[in-house]
Structure 1
């Protein structure tokens, strides 16, 4: 996979995920700094011309990175990692489950918000979902290289596994039962974010323990799903037992 976002390339280099760095003159100051970082990491750097760079990515860029995708991990390891991480931080973990989020820009923004505010990870379904691709890495500004993202074939089975590990499952809805300002993150929690048009599927709701609502100050219930993820993530980050 190839990426062109400078922030994403920097994060990929720091995570030792870059296979080859392709560069074409002239270079900006920022791009020269990225090259120095790559040299320190002993990453292979290949100098190319306009024709070569265009054949690689389809457009002309002065810097392109070929990267390895994050390794897939099983749900048990994913959940154990979340629980261990937050045990060290002395707070309970929050995980986002994304149901039918098909827009890569929304997915990238949710990943960025989640990582910024310390969410432990994200679970997405294998089907009917945006994939973690180049655009997600770029929109997330490289956060997708740091935040664990698990792809699951069956979300309901994943919910069962999470409950076995002590997680409580809630879904976000404009008709939610618990107002976010009154919600307590005092146990391992998963919050399901659904498609903006159809919400969380009924089959998923049935396996949830309840629902949460972000109250509007006006008679207007429309909120972008990535914006909702930022608000929930912030509420989690400032929660005090």
Structure 2
């Protein structure tokens, strides 16, 4: 029997019902809540022959933990992060120069979810994270990602530095981010097969990660803050790459 997990939140549930209905097992809605957005979910579930149950608020609170469920939870057949071997297949299957986002030890699930959401919007081929000391695919990550956790491959690797060296052998250009880098991302080439590397909250990239980057770039900062949240930085870098590629 397939393992299941629960995602929650109106947008995340709607996205999965539309894009991956084959993974949906049970739609769970809050009793007494019947508005346009909830009715849309009911209709989507009916059109895909997905069972719907109405339960009290306490049950949805239990399923969602400390997170806001907005009256909707969806039990899905779980697909976790992919292994290192999947990355080779993704690169082989790419019909355009791959764009990868590498997160070196991002531990906050809200940041990982936000990065996945941005990665989906920017057309990223895959997001790469280390297995240890980093956030994985939790229910919170899936909710914050608003459906992107179901569309963007998340690759977990045992040794990130080794993976970066392997990507170089695949002719992928590795660009890391550093507040003290001499070159701004706006003066750097971000076309062709590319991996953008961001460090963990606070500590940044680890030494071996930094040493395996082909280039380091900075995001210009004009105010008093020294750095951006990692998910915001991911958006800035990815969309500069998108702009250059278009």
TM-score, with structure 1 as normaliser:
0.88
In structure 2, relative to structure 1, the CA distance for the partners of 1:240 and 1:167 (3 Å cut) is closer
Q: Is the 8 A contact 1:122 1:149 kept in 2?
A: yes
- The answer to whether 1:36 aligns with 2:43 is yes
Match of 1:127 in 2: 132
Q: Which runs of 5+ in 2 are unaligned?
A: none
Equivalent positions of 1:49-60 (< 5 A) are 49-50=56-57, 52-53=59-60, 56-57=63-64
215-224 or 119-128: bigger deviation? 215-224
Equivalent positions of 1:57-96 (< 5 A) are 57=64, 62-82=71-91, 84-85=93-94, 87=95, 90=96, 92-96=97-101
Match of 2:13 in 1: 9
Q: Which runs of 5+ in 1 are unaligned?
A: none
Distance in 2 (alpha carbons) for counterparts of 1:134 and 1:108: 10
Cα displacement string for residues 4-55 of structure 1 (whole angstroms, at most 9, x for unaligned residues): 2011111222212211112342222211110110111111223334565456
Cα displacement string for residues 177-212 of structure 1 (whole angstroms, at most 9, x for unaligned residues): 431111212321111110231110002112221211
23-32 or 217-226: bigger deviation? 217-226
State the Cα RMSD in Å. Answer: 2.3
Match of 2:27 in 1: 21
In structure 2, relative to structure 1, the CA distance for the partners of 1:52 and 1:99 (3 Å cut) is closer
Q: Is the 8 A contact 1:177 1:210 kept in 2?
A: no
Match of 2:55 in 1: 48
Distance in 1 (alpha carbons) for counterparts of 2:44 and 2:221: 45
Q: Cα distance, 1:148 vs. partner? A: 0.9
Match of 1:227 in 2: 232
Q: Is the 8 A contact 2:25 2:77 kept in 1?
A: yes
Equivalent residues, number? 237
Match of 1:142 in 2: 147
In structure 2, relative to structure 1, the CA distance for the partners of 1:47 and 1:216 (3 Å cut) is closer
46-55 or 223-232: bigger deviation? 46-55
Equivalent positions of 1:192-231 (< 5 A) are 192-218=197-223, 220-231=225-236
SS of match in other structure, 1:109: helix
Cα displacement string for residues 81-133 of structure 1 (whole angstroms, at most 9, x for unaligned residues): 24533x2xx4x222111112111111111111111122221111111111211
